Amino acid sequence: MAAAATATVQVRPRSDSTHRLVTEAWSTQPPIPVDEYADIYGNPVKRLVMPSGSFVLTYDAVVAVPDEPDADPSGEAQAPADEVPGELLHFTLPSRYCLSDELMATAWELFGQSEPGAARVQAICDWVHDNIKFQYGSSNPLTTALDVFNNRKGVCRDLTHLAVTFCRALNIPARYVFGYLPDLYVPADPAPMDFAAWMEVWLGDRWWTFDPRNNQRRVGRVLIGRGRDALDVAMITTFGPAAFKSMKVWADRAEAA
């Protein structure tokens, strides 16, 4: 790139999800010092000043995941507002992309008849999965859940935003997460390999994984970041004139030893 620029990078998996790190290696070319911190959501972030000229960043990890797919939330009840842990209540509020205040009436209209709890969240995922067309290039950094609802298309980020928004409009705590999802990879898919976004929803007394894009319980999620919406969990954010030439993401399945 043309000149030095500060960047923040989120690639290291969080340590409080279902996977476990086995090996990892981080390096850059040229080698430069990295500042590390946890953001307000506890996500591990690396910050670096990328030098001018070509710059390559490499992160390799082997991660162990459970053999079982995402836990089954069937039958879990919605937690009343006085029982949700206080420090999580902000996950019922609107955020930059998740305009649950604007979509409040719509949410009640579409899902108000469903049974509160896991069934209602599943109804939301079904609706989003069935009504929002997955289409690369259909959204941009200003696209909100309201836009997605109106345009009826988006990428996994957008489908997740809309489902999160409906949950919050119905007072169900919901957070946006992103990470690696290995078996996402389909050889015939012309699109480049990428990170995946899904959501976590508070039911009963814990968080549960829902994935409006795939709308199925999956094996192999490796969670990198959590936040209110995609703003909080960007894989890379640059402050300055960086040009992003290419990114390759591998998330292959390795057989257990």
Residues at the site binding a second copy, with contacts judged by CB under 8 A: 6, 8, 15-16, 20-28, 30-41, 45, 47-49, 62, 64, 80-82, 85-87, 89-90, 93-96, 99, 101-102, 141-142, 171, 231-232, 239-240, 257
Cβ neighbours for 133, distance < 8 A, ≥ 6 positions apart: 152, 153, 154
For a second copy, the closer CB: 95 or 139: 95
Closest distance to a second copy from the beta carbon of 94 (Å): 5
The tokens describing 216, both together, are: 């199925």
- What is the rounded (10 degree) CA torsion for 138, 140, 145, 146? -80
For a second copy, the closer CB: 103 or 125: 103
Tokens 């690369």 -> residue = 136
For a second copy, the closer CB: 34 or 193: 34
- Note the Cα 146 to chain centre separation in Å: 18
For a second copy, the closer CB: 188 or 257: 257
At residue 224's C-alpha, the angle toward residues 117 and 248, to 5°, is 130
Closest distance to a second copy from the beta carbon of 201 (Å): 17
Closest distance to a second copy from the beta carbon of 214 (Å): 25
Closest distance to a second copy from the beta carbon of 256 (Å): 10
Phi and psi angles of residue 221, each rounded to the nearest 5 degrees, phi first: -70, 135
C-beta neighbour count of 146 within 10 angstroms: 19
Closest distance to a second copy from the beta carbon of 155 (Å): 18
For a second copy, the closer CB: 125 or 170: 170
| Sheet with strand 206-210: strands edge to edge | 206-210, 196-203, 174-180, 222-227
C-beta neighbour count of 245 within 10 angstroms: 9
Closest distance to a second copy from the beta carbon of 171 (Å): 6
- Note the Cα 149 to chain centre separation in Å: 18
DSSP state of 14: P
Closest distance to a second copy from the beta carbon of 91 (Å): 9
DSSP state of 132: S
For a second copy, the closer CB: 32 or 131: 32
